[in-house]
């Protein structure tokens, strides 16, 4: 028995509400939280489909007024993009590595396998980033 | 599902919206001869850079198929830009 139902019955026992009122409250409670049949597995959480990036800035940049950015990208698009990176020829990756090294970013892109990036995208579902600054708010999340 | 409609909008400083609705399939049909040329150029580019043409075609297809639902809105003061793919 859940806590709310117990409270309703308690109020009925104490005479604070009538039996009719208790029945209506319990009905309303059941409508709000439909009970799953015994033995049924709990429904899995629906998988997010989109990556959202929201930026709200009250700062008056360049005298043009406040700015707002609202981006919604399907996660499937990120996956497709990641798969496309596997087509980059190795010699191009070597050149990119050399340029990155020159710029002071020593990242070896040849070590970045498509399956690693796929895993990264898979785990992106749970990512939530909130940045609050006076006058600016940035939110990154999946929905 | 390939994109059906691409909406590109621009709000001018005077507050008026200029919206362009692009029905993808009819536009693709009209531009199909040009598209064929683009595919051929892409094929040559793939062979020149030793990239698998089948993989590139599949990747591009997957990218195109995943586009519906994309929405980008940027507002700065009275001006705004909107790109939406449905």
* Maximum C-alpha span of chain A: 82
Domain that holds residue A25: 3-32
CB A4 within 8 A of CB A22: no
Confidence of residue A40 (pLDDT cuts 50, 70, 90): low
By C-alpha distance, the chain A residue nearest B52 is A87
Contact (CB<8Å) A74/B51: no
Q: Specify the 3-state DSSP secondary structure of B3.
A: coil
Residues of B within 8 A of A68 (CB-CB) are 73-75
Chain B CB contacts of A87 under 8 Å are 51-52, 55-56, 59
Q: Hey, which residues does B7 pair with through a beta bridge?
A: B21, B84
Q: Are residues A14 and A62 in the same domain?
A: no
Interchain pair A84, B74: CB under 8 A: no
A73 and A16 in a common domain = no
Judged by a CB distance cut-off of 8 A, whether residue A131 touches chain B is no
Residues A56 and A14 in one domain: no
Instruction: Quick: pLDDT tens for A42-72.
Output: 666 677 889 999 999 887 666 677 889 999 9
ipTM of the complex: 0.84
Is the pLDDT at B42 greater than 70? The verdict is yes
Q: Report CB contact under 8 Å: A84, B63.
A: yes
State how many domains chain A has.
2
Q: Is residue A103 part of a domain?
A: yes
Q: What is the mean pLDDT of chain B?
A: 92
Whether A59 and A24 map to the same domain: the answer is no
Q: Do B69 and A50 touch (CB under 8 A)?
A: yes
Contact B66/A83, CB-based, under 8 Å? no
Query: Burial letters for A34-67: b for 16+ Cβ neighbours within 10 Å, e otherwise?
Result: eeeeeeeeeeeeeeeebbeebbebeeeeeeebeb
Asked if residue A89 and residue A117 are part of one domain, the reply reads yes
CB proximity A114 to B under 8 Å: no
Q: How far is B12 from chain A (nearest CA, A)?
A: 12
């Amino acid at each position: 028995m859940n806590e709310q139902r117990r409270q309703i019955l308690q109020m009925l026992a104490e005479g604070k509400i009538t039996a009719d009122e208790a029945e209506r409250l319990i009905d309303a409670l059941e409508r709000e939280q439909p009970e799953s049949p015994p033995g049924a597995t709990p429904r899995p959480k629906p998988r997010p489909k989109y990556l959202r990036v929201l930026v709200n800035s009250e700062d008056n940049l360049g005298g043009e007024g406040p700015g707002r950015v609202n981006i919604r990208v399907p996660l499937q698009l990120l996956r497709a993009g990641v798969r496309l990176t596997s087509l980059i020829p190795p010699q191009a990756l070597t050149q990119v590595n050399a340029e990155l090294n020159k710029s002071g970013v020593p990242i070896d892109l040849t070590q970045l396998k498509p399956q690693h990036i796929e895993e990264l995208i898979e785990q992106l579902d749970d990512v939530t980033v909130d940045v609050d600054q006076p006058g600016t708010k940035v939110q990154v999340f999946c929905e | 599902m390939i994109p059906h409609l691409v909406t590109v909008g621009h709000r001018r400083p005077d507050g008026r919206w200029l919206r362009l609705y692009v029905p993808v399939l009819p536009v693709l049909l009209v531009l199909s001869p040009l598209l064929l040329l683009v595919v051929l150029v892409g094929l040559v580019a793939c062979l020149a850079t030793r990239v698998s043409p089948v993989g590139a075609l599949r990747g591009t297809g997957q990218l195109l198929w995943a586009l519906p639902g994309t929405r980008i809105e940027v507002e700065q003061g009275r001006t705004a830009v909107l790109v939406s793919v449905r």
